Amino acid sequence: MLRIGLIGCGNIGINGHLPAYLKTSETQLVAVCDVRPEQAEQAAAACGAAPYGDYRHLLDRADIDAVDLCVPTEEHAHLAIAALDAGKHVLCEKPIARTLAEADAMIAAAARAGRTLMIGHVRRFDHRYAEIKALLDAGQVGEPVFIRRAERQRLPFPAEAWYWQRERGGGVILDIGVHGTDLLRWYFGREATEVYAVGRRVREPARQTGSFDHAFITCRFAGGGTGLIEASWAYPGDYGAALYGELDVVGRAGKVVYSDRDTNPLLIYTPDGGPELPRYFRFMSTTEYAFQAEVRHFVHCILDERPPAISLQDARAALEMALAAQRSADIGQPVSLPLKESNEPGARHSQSDGHQREG
């Protein structure tokens, strides 16, 4: 039995991770923390845990074995390092960090502490994408040569939310695009060598913050494979409710096609309301089952003393590709991998940097 502390009681924390622990028999959720007292209290009421407003008080508890971080991306590095230094195992939401330097510091802290650090790239635990990976590994469509992945919605959060702020969350490229970069690398089984991206600022919050809310990202891989990612928060209304994801994998001997549109089991039509595709899960991007599988995997990596299926180098590589895409969208040119330090995006670039960026 592992005793868990959850830090971050927002959308993913309270709707994705918290319910997963309640359905995992080997864990007990004993503490929750959020800088917003009402969020911590809500989460505590749902699971019987003790609420905290300061993460340091949670980390001071000697009875907590592992910490789950569902916090803004800018907080990943310093909270993960603090938890590891306190002797806790850590599950951290994707992306691993905002910069490669932060990612490297987290990896070093895990090695120093001798504790498990796992990054929650939840697509790897979603049975739909795991089954596609299995058939690719079995050679059913031959060697993949082209992969297209689209993740499209209308971000429902207000303009002041951290997601929109480039310095805090990285915009759509780091928040959603990193799912795509990890999936491409996972499916191709090779390293990316070059990334080219066109970013757009379509909605007003993106324009105000200077972040991208829509991007097309082309990735070239060693051996000749090519991947295309569309990551968007700019689609109208409830578009993403049952139309969020599409995937094509073209192999030398066949093709795999997946679309949320084609797999939604129910269509309702009324003269007044028109067509309606009901949502079957809280999240457009994945299923609740995927979070449960992710949490169980993390727990058993600790209990069985084995490394996570997604390594820290996997998570770092997905971040590096996303950062290259962000840099490419800024300058309007392809960016080679591995990234040089001068090519890693830092503070927001001026509005005049790169004609590609305006929507």
pLDDT bucket at 358, cuts 50 / 70 / 90: very low
The least confident of 114-118, 128-132, 170-174, 286-290 is 286-290
Question: Could you tell me where in the chain the CATH 3.40.50.720 domains are found?
Answer: 2-123
Packing angle between helix 127-137 and helix 288-303, nearest 10 degrees? Answer: 70
Position 260 scores a pLDDT of 83
User: What's the rounded mean pLDDT across residues 114-128?
Assistant: 96
Percent of the chain with pLDDT over 90: 82
Is the pLDDT at 89 greater than 80? The verdict is: yes
- CB-neighbour burial class of residue 283 (10 A; exposed 0-12, middle 13-18, buried 19+): middle
pLDDT in tens, 228-287: 999 999 998 877 666 788 999 999 999 999 988 777 767 788 888 777 776 666 665 677
> What homologous superfamily does CATH list for 126-287+316-357?
Dihydrodipicolinate Reductase; domain 2 (3.30.360.10)
- Residue 206 confidence (pLDDT) above 80: yes
Mean pLDDT of the chain: 91
Enumerate the CATH 3.30.360.10 domain ranges in the chain, comma separated.
126-287+316-357
Tell me what the mean pLDDT of segment 95-110 comes to: 98
Please list, in sequence order, all residues whose beta carbon lies within 8 angstroms of the beta carbon of residue 328, skipping any fewer than 6 positions away.
195, 196, 197, 217, 334, 335
pLDDT at 49 over 50: yes
**For range 88-111, the mean pLDDT:** 98
User: Which range, of 127-141, 180-194, 277-291, averages the lowest pLDDT?
Assistant: 277-291
Looking at the predicted structure, is the pLDDT value of residue 359 above 70?
no
pLDDT confidence of 296, banded at 50, 70, 90?
A: very high
pLDDT greater at residue 70 or residue 274: 70
Distance CA 183, CA 217 (A): 13
CA neighbor of 164 nearest in space, from 239, 84, 234? 234
Give the chain's radius of gyration (CA, Å): 20
Give the per-residue pLDDT at 349.
41
Handedness of CA 67, 86, 93, 117 (dihedral sign): negative
Beta strands of 201-346 (E only): which ranges? 214-221, 226-232, 245-251, 254-259, 268-270, 274-276, 335-336
In sequence order, the β-bridge partners of residue 28 are 3
Cis amide prior to 338 (ω within 30 degrees):
yes
Q: How many CA atoms lie within 13 A of 180 on its CB side?
A: 35
Tell me which residue has tokens 């960090």: 97
Least confident of 29-43, 199-213, 284-298: 284-298
**Residue 186 identity:** W
Averaged over 96-112, what is the pLDDT?
98
> In this structure, how many other beta carbons lie within 10 angstroms of the beta carbon of residue 271?
5
**Through-space distance between the first and last CA atoms of the chain, rounded to whole angstroms:** 51
Task: Provide the pLDDT confidence category of residue 347 given band limits of 50, 70 and 90.
Answer: very low
Please name which of 55, 58, 325 lies closest in space to residue 182, comparing C-alpha atoms: 325
Residue 257 pairs with which residues in a beta bridge? 248
| Average pLDDT score over residue span 216-232 | 97
Q: Where does residue 263 rank: exposed (0-12), middle (13-18), buried (19+ CB within 10 A)?
A: exposed
CA–CA separation, 182 vs 95, rounded Å? 10
Q: Which two tokens stand for residue 177?
A: 């695009």
pLDDT at 356: 39
**Burial of 68 (C-beta count, 10 Å sphere; 0-12/13-18/19+):** buried
Say if CB 57 and CB 51 are below 8 A apart: no
Tokens of 320: 């590096």
Contacting residues for 64 by C-beta, under 8 A, at least 6 apart: 3, 4, 5, 30, 31, 58, 88
Burial label for 49, CB within 10 Å (0-12, 13-18, 19+), is buried
Classify domain 2-123 at the CATH topology level: Rossmann fold (3.40.50)
pLDDT of 351 over the 60 cut: no
Extract the tokens encoding 269: 């039509």
- 270: which 2 tokens? 């009324």
Angle at 24 between CA 313 and CA 12, to 5 degrees: 60
Q: Please give the pLDDT value at position 161.
A: 94
